[in-house]
Amino acid sequence: SWTVPGGEEAQPPIALPSAVHCLAVSADGRILAATCADGLVRLVDRAAGELLGVLPVRGTASAFDGEKGRLYCAGFGSVRCYR
């Protein structure tokens, strides 16, 4: 991440084992859902940069529902919902 005025990174990069195609941020800003090229959705603690878990979704996109705290993952003919 970076700051807009100077373009400096605000925190170190978060390394993942596969290219990221889609990134969703939870409403509270604590969790990133990275939909990766290998089809897996990786949940990452944004502040610590630590992997929280992997969803075996075979997804192509993800989005958080800010009101209910759910994560929707889409890909290959289906949409899945996680709490």
Q: Following DSSP, what letter does each residue of 24-61 receive, concatenated?
A: EE-TTS-EEEEEETTS-EEEEETTTTEEEEEE----SE
Residue 78 pLDDT exceeds 80: yes
At 65 the pLDDT is 93
Task: Express each pLDDT in 23-71 by its tens digit.
Answer: 999 999 999 999 999 989 999 999 999 999 999 888 889 999 988 889 9
Cβ atoms within 10 Å, residue 43 = 19
Contact 75, 59 (CB under 8 A): yes
Contact 61, 48 (CB under 8 A): no
Residue 3 pLDDT exceeds 80: no
> d(Cα 28, Cα 80) in Å, to the nearest integer?
21
